């Protein structure tokens, strides 16, 4: 997953992170988010990436980056080594969904997860019209998509409950990156294109 500049979820994530915190960004791309967090929040950051080109790009950006495969867990990281573990727009590309969420909260105090919401009304309309959705937050064609898991806000929250994860905060954005307000969760699920969650675990 490649990060682009000024992604709306970046500022949200930055606001949840205290200066000086230790941050691990999983699927960090070229390190843009970490660089943003280092520059704006003075964090100490490390990224994990699988792609060779992104490893090179992150090192060029002066970011600590560890080459590794998220599907294989986070063995090289110790328990509770980080204040925040970020998984930005990557959860839908990982097969071992529960495994990676467990690992995030093993190595980190808090997990920050953002993902595209497949129940966003435009996505639903696209499917009703007979085509898989392609949008700002789902920019791929079905045949070249890295996404392997298709889920909604409500699906994700059900999984969190099942796994005993605590949702500390939730922000839902529309395609333009503006925060969506709604009267209930079902409406939010319908109006939101991108969801950002701050998770922790009872300890």
Contact residues toward other proteins (CB under 8 A) are: 22, 44, 46, 52, 55-56, 58-60, 62-68, 75-78, 81
For residues 41 and 27, what is the distance between their CA atoms, to the nearest angstrom? 20
Distance CA 10, CA 23 (A): 13
Shortest Cβ distance from residue 9 to other proteins (Å)? 25
What single DSSP character describes residue 178?
Answer: P
Q: Please state the closest distance from residue 121 (CB atom) to other proteins, in A.
A: 42
Give CA–CA dist 51/80, Å, rounded: 26
43 vs 191 by CB, closer to other proteins: 43
Rounded CA separation 89/175 (Å): 14
- Nearest distance in Å: CB 176, other proteins: 35
**For other proteins, the closer CB: 13 or 63:** 63
Residue closer to other proteins (CB basis): 8 or 108: 108
How far is CA 63 from each of CA 28, 29, 45, 81, 202, rounded to the nearest angstrom? 10, 11, 7, 18, 31
Residues listed for the chain? 203
- Token pair in block for residue 72: 């294989």
Handedness of CA 7, 174, 49, 26 (dihedral sign): positive
CB of 190 to other proteins, least distance (A): 41
Nearer to other proteins, 28 or 191 (CB): 28
Q: Pick the closer one to other proteins by CB: 56 or 148.
A: 56
User: Least distance in Å: CB of 45 to other proteins?
Assistant: 10
């Amino acid at each position: 997953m490649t990060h682009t500049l000024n992604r709306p979820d970046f500022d949200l994530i930055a606001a949840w992170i205290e200066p000086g915190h230790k941050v691990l960004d999983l699927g960090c791309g070229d390190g843009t988010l970490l660089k943003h967090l280092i520059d704006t929040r003075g964090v100490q950051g490390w990224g994990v990436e699988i792609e060779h080109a992104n490893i090179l790009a992150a090192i060029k950006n002066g970011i600590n980056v560890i080459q590794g495969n998220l599907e294989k867990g986070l063995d090289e990281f110790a328990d509770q080594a980080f204040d925040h573990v970020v998984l930005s727009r990557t959860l839908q590309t990982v097969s071992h969904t529960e495994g990676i969420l467990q690992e995030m909260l093993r190595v980190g105090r808090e997990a920050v997860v953002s993902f595209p919401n497949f129940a966003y009304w435009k996505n639903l309309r696209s499917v009703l019209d007979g085509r898989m959705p392609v949008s700002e937050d789902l920019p791929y064609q079905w045949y070249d998509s890295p996404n392997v898991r298709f889920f909604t806000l409500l699906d994700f929250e059900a999984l969190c409950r099942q796994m005993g994860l605590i949702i500390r905060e939730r922000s839902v954005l529309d395609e333009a990156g503006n925060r969506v307000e709604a009267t209930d969760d079902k409406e939010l699920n319908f109006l939101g294109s991108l969801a950002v969650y701050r998770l922790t675990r009872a300890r």
